[in-house]
Structure 1
Amino acid sequence: MICKSSAPPALEEHTALLQRHLLSISEAIVRTRQEIADLRHEQEVGRARDELHAVVQGTEQATNAILTASETVEALARGVARRAGDDATRADALAIQAQMQTIFEACNFQDLTGQRISKVVRTIVLVEERVGEMLSLWSGSGAAPPARPAAAPRTGDDALLNGPALPGTAAVCQDAVDAMFP
């Protein structure tokens, strides 16, 4: 008499079913991890776009402040040159005016830089829109892609390398900073 030690057919079927389900769950986990990585990449692209936009705004504001102060200094130097009683003072005032002209000319960098960065921002936005449209078409839903989740908090050295806050995202208000200094 030969003895078989195999499991009953029902047990083998259940085991195979369980293996298929575990494999399916494993594949879903892999897909979800990839989707999360893709979302993080999209968040980084969006953040880069926002950072570039903030650079354009910041340089424009700084340049306007420099130009306003420079115009004031230039007007004061012009007045000093008119009222100066001696040639040395007049020469100094004219030299100040000449240097102020150099500052005016140098501030043209902001306009050119702003145009270039704005072009890059428009390109990033265009790419984001097109990728969103493609995802929508591929998903077959015809709806807009889901909203992005909030970025994961940074830790370690990454948490220290945030740079200036984007407009409207300051963690501390100016009053709190002022209160720290007597």
Structure 2
Amino acid sequence: MAFSPLNSVSVEEGHALLQRHLISLSEAIARTRQEIADLRHEQEASRACDELHAVVHGTEQATNTILTASETVDSLARGIAKQSRDGATRADAQAIQTQMQTIFEACNFQDLTGQRISKVVRTIVLVEERVGEMLRLWSGAGGAPAKPVADRRTEEEALLNGPVLPGEATVSQDAVDAMFP
């Protein structure tokens, strides 16, 4: 007969030990449930999502204002370059146009920022849903676990993952070039 720690203790001691472990486990689960509930209330995920949406909207409006003003300046510079008979003035107007092109290109930040913030919002919503599901299961309110949350993105959105953060694994341009003969 193999040695078992229960062989050296009485049945009553074994029951008491098991009961203490179950009580300890139950208390740990209760503490975890409370911590998750506190975290959920503290984080106010939906508020964070609203704030991030406001950031996207604000940067979009600011970018549109910048682009509109830049197009006006570019158009004025183009007109000056065409009408000017002075070479220096024409060169200055063309330099302004070149700088305006730089501004147009830099305004792409808004699109990239919006994509990154959208990734964060999706993550917050996913975490909020999962925490809610855990609370529901632990409270005994639900029987079977819920099905995994379906990806609600359109086919195009699922393909367009937006910019990656610095240091994330990415495909190099050399790897892309190697795919084409």
After superposition, the Cα gap between the structure-2 partners of 1:100 and 1:57, relative to the gap in structure 1 and judged at 3 Å, is: same
State the identity as a percent.
75
Partner in structure 2 of residue 106 of structure 1 = 106
Following the alignment from structure 2 to structure 1, what is the Cα–Cα distance between the partners of residues 49 and 69? Answer: 30
Partner in structure 1 of residue 78 of structure 2 = 78
Paired residue type of 1:97: Q
Following the alignment from structure 1 to structure 2, what is the Cα–Cα distance between the partners of residues 35 and 82? Answer: 67
Is the Cα–Cα contact under 8 Å of residues 37 and 135 in structure 2 kept in the other structure? no
Partner in structure 1 of residue 89 of structure 2 = 89
TM-score, normalised relative to structure 2 = 0.54
5+ unaligned residues in a row in structure 2: which ranges? 1-30, 143-181
After superposition, the Cα gap between the structure-2 partners of 1:35 and 1:106, relative to the gap in structure 1 and judged at 3 Å, is: closer
Aligned-residue offset at 1:39: 4.7
Paired residue type of 1:64: N
Following the alignment from structure 1 to structure 2, what is the Cα–Cα distance between the partners of residues 61 and 71? Answer: 15
Following the alignment from structure 2 to structure 1, what is the Cα–Cα distance between the partners of residues 110 and 64? Answer: 9
Paired residue type of 1:126: L
- Cα root mean square deviation, aligned: 2.6
After superposition, the Cα gap between the structure-2 partners of 1:116 and 1:34, relative to the gap in structure 1 and judged at 3 Å, is: closer
Paired residue type of 1:87: G
Paired residue type of 1:57: H
Following the alignment from structure 1 to structure 2, what is the Cα–Cα distance between the partners of residues 131 and 35? Answer: 7
Is the Cα–Cα contact under 8 Å of residues 40 and 128 in structure 2 kept in the other structure? no
Paired residue type of 1:123: T
Higher CA-based Rg: 1
- 3-state SS, counterpart of residue 88 of structure 1: helix
Partner in structure 2 of residue 7 of structure 1 = none
Partner in structure 2 of residue 55 of structure 1 = 55
TM-score, normalised relative to structure 1 = 0.54
